[in-house]
A and B are shown apart, each in its own frame.
Chain A
């Protein structure tokens, strides 16, 4: 049972444009969400997080939107840069199990010149 889903395995965006990565979840107990960027054979690098009491959080070029009613979150990267090319994972945790992150399957983002 995949509780966190990233339905797009890959995404290609031109440099300077907006990248939008999507994530859906099924567990209504999730109340904290994170996005990580990962390169092969390396650990995930934290990008941005959002608590369920908010619907938007910004950090520089990264913005995360949370739609609780739709159980959907998205990561916007503006403007996209070639260095953003990596696999992006969304992750979620719930009250009482905050240490247990449930990860999506990842979306490979390629930013082209």
Chain B
């Protein structure tokens, strides 16, 4: 089975712009979660989508949003980019909604100038 894929792998934006990141989960996985990794804050949970519905949300401002499509692919959008949004954005998928292993993609490295 193919793993979790994320596009693009690298992105450079300027402050004030918006960005959309894409994630394709492992085939058959219906849950997709997003995480942000920064040197200062470590790995932090952004939100989870299951069957096109947001099920859980972390402590991030409303500039961070997401959606999931009927084929389980997910997108994450960040509007009005700030310098502090520079990070590695990771997507993870899992098969069920209960305690289950999350499998991560390679991430998208976002740099905000």
Contact = CB atoms under 8 A, between A and B. Distances in A.
B97 A43 contact: no
Interface residues of A, number: 26
A101 B101 contact: no
Contact of B45 (A42, A95, A100): A100
A98 B100 contact: yes
Given A100-B58, A106-B42, A41 B107 contact: yes
A85 B1 CA distance: 26
Interface stretch (A14-22, A44-52, A62-70, A74-82): A44-52
Contact of B97 (A98, A103, A105): A98
Interface in B56-98: 56, 58, 88, 90, 92, 94, 97-98
Nearest to B49: A99
B104 A45 contact: yes
Contacts of B106: 42-43
Nearest to A33: B99
Contacts of A32: 99
B36 to A, nearest CB: 11
A88 interface: no
Contacts of B43: 44, 89, 91, 101, 103
A103 B90 CA distance: 13
A99 B99 CA distance: 8
A100 B48 CA distance: 8
A7 B19 CA distance: 35
Interface of A: 31-32, 34, 36, 41-46, 49, 51, 89, 91, 93, 95, 97-106
